[in-house]
Structure 1
């Protein structure tokens, strides 16, 4: 829901950061891998109740997740990289799914140990993520084959709905800032993401008919 306006708002500062990082030895895939490592480290920190460290690692990993695509687009624009960087797009979305899932698990482990929180809301979030991922990845694949791509500058055709990347970053951050309320937040988030999953299923089906 918020990805498009937030991307427009951050386009200039993200572009400036990408320009500063545009140096020999720094690659978009390298940024993706560093972001992946920091995201997994955030999940481990959350599981061991190091909430402040987990928050910092999570936010830095998400900044790098935004910079890898910006750096790739910058290098394609001036001709230093040819093609659509399909491999980079694949690596990026795979890393995102791994980081999101690991973070949910890490917060669940930390909150159940520290605050006796129930695990079921976090399991519901993972289920909702699974359905959302299946919906938009299947849509992107079929849309590519049938010439019905949704081109917003990213490697995949994203079906934007209520829960997108921006909302995910905010909610995961809130879990780490307010871990004692994490399962309540997870309950609401599971409903929110579940509604988005249904929306994507319906929108994808209609778009491909």
Structure 2
């Protein structure tokens, strides 16, 4: 929900790093992979209950996630392959963080982490499932025109996810309560995405069928 408001402020902050990386011949896909590896380092740190160190890895992962797309656009090398790689490692990173908390305290955190992971599957699948027909129908995406995939809005997007991840690390004793709260918001996102996506695709299907009939007359 907040991504469209936060992204315009983040982009200018990344440009000094983007220009330096471009001068050194760094490719956006390399940034994606390095950022993913850094993000995965949070899992053993969470399991060891090294909350601050894990938080640093999470934040660095998000910085790299912003850098790869900005660098690709700056170098005019945006591609479907790069977008595919980016979205795959993003969802793997998102799933890894609840796992880290489950490993840290299985008795207290495992059930909440499982619920949150279930919701992540719903938000991720609804997001990606809509992107396929949206691309086929060439639906407009004015808010995320530079993205490789069609971004279907929701109550919980990247900004909200990272905000909760930060909260998890700052108040690890309250992970179950925070995770259940985030899962509830994510469930709302699932419902609105499925309903909104279905209605959008249904209306375009009807419109396309009507246009075909008119052309056949």
User: How many angstroms does 1:24 deviate by?
Assistant: 3.3
User: How many angstroms does 1:171 deviate by?
Assistant: 0.4
Return the alpha-carbon distance in structure 2 between the equivalents of residues 17 and 197 of structure 1. 35
Which residue is 1:176 aligned to? 169
Unpaired stretches in structure 1, ≥5 consecutive residues: none
Q: Does residue 36 of structure 1 match 2:36?
A: yes
> Normalised by the size of structure 1, how large is the TM-score?
0.91
Unpaired stretches in structure 2, ≥5 consecutive residues: 203-217
User: How many angstroms does 1:106 deviate by?
Assistant: 0.5
Task: Map 1:18-33; keep pairs closer than 5 Å.
Answer: 18-33=18-33
Alignment equivalent of 2:80, drawn from 75, 83, 86: 86
Alignment: residue pair count? 200
| Structure 1 contact 132–196 (Cα < 8 Å) conserved | yes
Alignment equivalent of 1:137, drawn from 128, 151, 170: 128
Structure with greater proportional helix content:
2
Q: Does residue 166 of structure 1 match 2:159?
A: yes
SS in structure 2 of the partner of residue 117 of structure 1: helix
Alignment equivalent of 2:100, drawn from 78, 103, 106: 106
Return the alpha-carbon distance in structure 2 between the equivalents of residues 11 and 141 of structure 1. 27
> Normalised by the size of structure 2, how large is the TM-score?
0.88
Return the alpha-carbon distance in structure 2 between the equivalents of residues 142 and 15 of structure 1. 33
Return the alpha-carbon distance in structure 1 between the equivalents of residues 192 and 65 of structure 2. 25
Q: CA RMSD in A?
A: 1.3
Return the alpha-carbon distance in structure 1 between the equivalents of residues 80 and 136 of structure 2. 15
- Which structure has the larger Rg over C-alpha atoms? 2
Which residue is 2:180 aligned to? 187
User: How many angstroms does 1:149 deviate by?
Assistant: 4.7
User: How many angstroms does 1:108 deviate by?
Assistant: 1.8
Once the two structures are superposed, residues 117-151 of structure 1 have per-residue CA deviations (whole angstroms, 9 ceiling, x without a partner) of: 14222111111110111111011011111222525
SS in structure 1 of the partner of residue 100 of structure 2: helix
Q: Does residue 6 of structure 1 match 2:9?
A: no
Return the alpha-carbon distance in structure 2 between the equivalents of residues 169 and 186 of structure 1. 12
